[in-house]
Structure 1
Amino acid sequence: MVEAGRGHWPFALVHGEPLVAAAAWALGEAGVELVDVGTPWAAFAEAELPFVLHDPLCPLTPPEFLAACVAHAEATSAVTVGVRPVTDTVRELADGPIDGPFGGPFGGPFGDTVDRAGLLQVVSPIVLPAAVVAALDGPPTTDFAGLVAELATKFPVQTLEAPAQARRVADHDDLRVLEALTAPLPG
């Protein structure tokens, strides 16, 4: 479970439970053993097991998806990454100021709109196969997007599309959307 660099958000509440608790529960239900932060990295390499990084900012990632990612990493020996499609509009920054309603100090200099079809958002989990764990000198960075980019230069990386419940929480609005998406149906 990755808490470092996440500020107070792992302790925000989703359906009355801290995000970190919901994420830990999902790992346990998926059959993933939680380990102590102080465990030496060499112990993971010696265990010859996949290593699962789960972000508590993706607290409601279903246990079935977590388990499927572990199984995929074991079967393919590829780093396996949960991803979601990008649905927001993404714009490039222009080289200089742009005249018009969105130029200037408040709108910023925007260029072309990026085609979302080729974009993915890294969510949870990132599963490192045993061979990758053994090849690393120490614990990986906790910056998920940076980690995937770094690992892709050295190891095969494959993505699996995560269900909507695995969406990342970045602010209160995201948390409200996640709670609405995962609320039990009345009746």
Structure 2
Amino acid sequence: MRDVLYDEDGSLGVVVESGRGSLPFALCHGEALVACAAWALGEAGVTQVDLGTPWEALVEAGEPLVLHDPLCPMTPADFIAACVERCAATQAVVVGVRPVTDTLKAVDADGVVQDTVDREAMRQVTSPIVLPASVVAGLEGLASTDFAELAADLAARFPVVTLEAPAEGRRVGDEDDVRVLEALTAR
């Protein structure tokens, strides 16, 4: 990890735990997922604000906004900082993604399974999503707190670039996934 992470002009960040049930409060390495995510933001040089912060205050701050999902709790701080740096360099929305490894099948309107979908062209949205200040100013708020829905909405309206998150930045969907992530990130 770098000694100094991104803080050139500053950025604000939110750990988005709403709409995720109780899973953000599950433990990984003895700490709540939401706490792990918050620490990563801090280590990345991001100033944390509450999800309830009025949108107008975020616009007025004139800084990039980093959205971090506690269901990707072990996303490394240096990856978050790299996403903020890419956002600053490109002025595009930056979305962390992971390769899709599951077999995907297409289903027709009647529910009949069709062909296998080429997963090489597919990505799973993970964390973070970084919005440049200009995008924050162009929104009235977040269209969704579901990162896949939000990324799709943003891509329809703004330039978006993706960065492949490291394996420890994977998304968890249940307690079993948390145990796998814990094993993956054991020291």
**TM-score, reference length from structure 2:** 0.89
- Seen in structure 2, the aligned counterparts of structure 1 residues 133 and 95 have a Cα distance that, compared at 3 Å, is closer
| Counterpart position of 2:11 | none
| Counterpart position of 1:115 | 118
| Counterpart position of 1:134 | 137
Greater radius of gyration (CA): 1
Q: Secondary structure at the match of 2:48?
A: coil
Cα distance in 1 between the residues matched to 2:109 and 2:155: 29
Instruction: Return the match for 1:35 from 49, 61, 64.
Output: 49
Query: Is 1:25 paired with 2:39?
Result: yes
| Counterpart position of 1:77 | 91
Instruction: Return the match for 2:148 from 145, 155, 158.
Output: 145
Q: Secondary structure at the match of 2:95?
A: strand
| Counterpart position of 1:162 | 165
Q: Secondary structure at the match of 1:153?
A: helix
Query: Is 1:16 paired with 2:30?
Result: yes
Q: Secondary structure at the match of 2:66?
A: strand
Q: Deviations over 1:3-35 (max 9, x none)?
A: 110000000000110000000000000011110
Give the number of equivalent residue pairs.
173
Cα distance in 2 between the residues matched to 1:37 and 1:162: 23
Q: Deviations over 1:59-113 (max 9, x none)?
A: 000000000001100110000000000001111124547xxxxxxxxxxx42211
The alignment yields a C-alpha RMSD, in angstroms, of 1.2
Q: Secondary structure at the match of 2:171?
A: coil
Which amino acid is the alignment partner of residue 182 of structure 1?
T
| Structure 1 residue runs of 4 or more that deviate by more than 3 Å after TM superposition | 94-97
Higher strand share: 2
Which amino acid is the alignment partner of residue 64 of structure 1?
D
Instruction: Return the match for 1:54 from 68, 93, 99.
Output: 68
Verify the 8 A CA contact 2:143 2:153 in the aligned structure 1: no
Cα distance in 1 between the residues matched to 2:152 and 2:161: 12
Superposed displacement of residue 139, structure 1:
3.4
Q: Deviations over 1:30-57 (max 9, x none)?
A: 0111102332111111111000100000
Verify the 8 A CA contact 2:97 2:124 in the aligned structure 1: yes
Which amino acid is the alignment partner of residue 62 of structure 2?
E
- Seen in structure 2, the aligned counterparts of structure 1 residues 111 and 40 have a Cα distance that, compared at 3 Å, is same
Unpaired runs of 5+ residues, structure 2, are 1-14
**TM-score, reference length from structure 1:** 0.89
Unpaired runs of 5+ residues, structure 1, are 98-108
Superposed displacement of residue 160, structure 1:
0.2
Which amino acid is the alignment partner of residue 14 of structure 1?
C
Superposed displacement of residue 174, structure 1:
1.1
